[in-house]
Amino acid sequence: MNTINYWLMKSEPGVYSISDLQNQNQTIWDGVRNYQARNFLRQMQIGDLAFFYHSNAEPPGIFGLMKIVETGIADPTQFDVNSKYYDDKSTPESPRWQTVKLEFVEVFNNPLSLSTLKQNFHGDELLVVKKGNRLSVTPVIESVGSRILEIARDT
């Protein structure tokens, strides 16, 4: 079966924003150092769609869409002694942190701020609106994902 999954991925726009991805077209999503988030990265399939969420932003929310174009990439920053994401327990033979390559799809006409998301979805439907949730990579159930797309593309 080749079902397309939806994901939500957070980044602080001051560090890396949807505009940065638009300019670059593709990026490796590096720097994730949380096991639960990494496990979701491992589950991603080529062709899956991911919402780009701006955290620590004004306002926080979903601002665009990207697509997974490559999976199972060893995060290069884990081997870089000068990176803040360096992990001395990880080796190239058995890397601890895997990630994906993403391609820009679109900037949303109607971004969905966190408050808008809270009006439309509950915490059990969409983890990012759940109080206390800090995961930077989360799955989005399909019906919620397509509803977000509808709202985001509405003109």
Q: Nearest approach, Cβ of 114 to DNA (angstroms)? A: 5
Q: Nearest approach, Cβ of 56 to DNA (angstroms)? A: 5
Which is closer to DNA, CB of 47 or CB of 123?
123
Q: Which of 4, 74, 12 has its CA nearest to residue 42? A: 74
Which is closer to DNA, CB of 10 or CB of 68?
10
Question: Can you give the binding site for DNA, defined by CB under 7 A?
Answer: 10, 12, 34-36, 55-57, 60, 114-115, 128, 131-136
DSSP letter at 64 equals: E
Residue 138 DSSP SS3: strand
Which is closer to DNA, CB of 25 or CB of 94?
94
Q: What contacts 45, CB < 8 A, 6 or more positions away?
A: 2, 4, 5, 68, 71
Cα 27 from Cα 110, distance rounded (Å): 24
Which is closer to DNA, CB of 45 or CB of 115?
115
User: At residue 10, what are phi and psi to the nearest 5 degrees?
Assistant: -100, 145
Q: Nearest approach, Cβ of 16 to DNA (angstroms)? A: 12
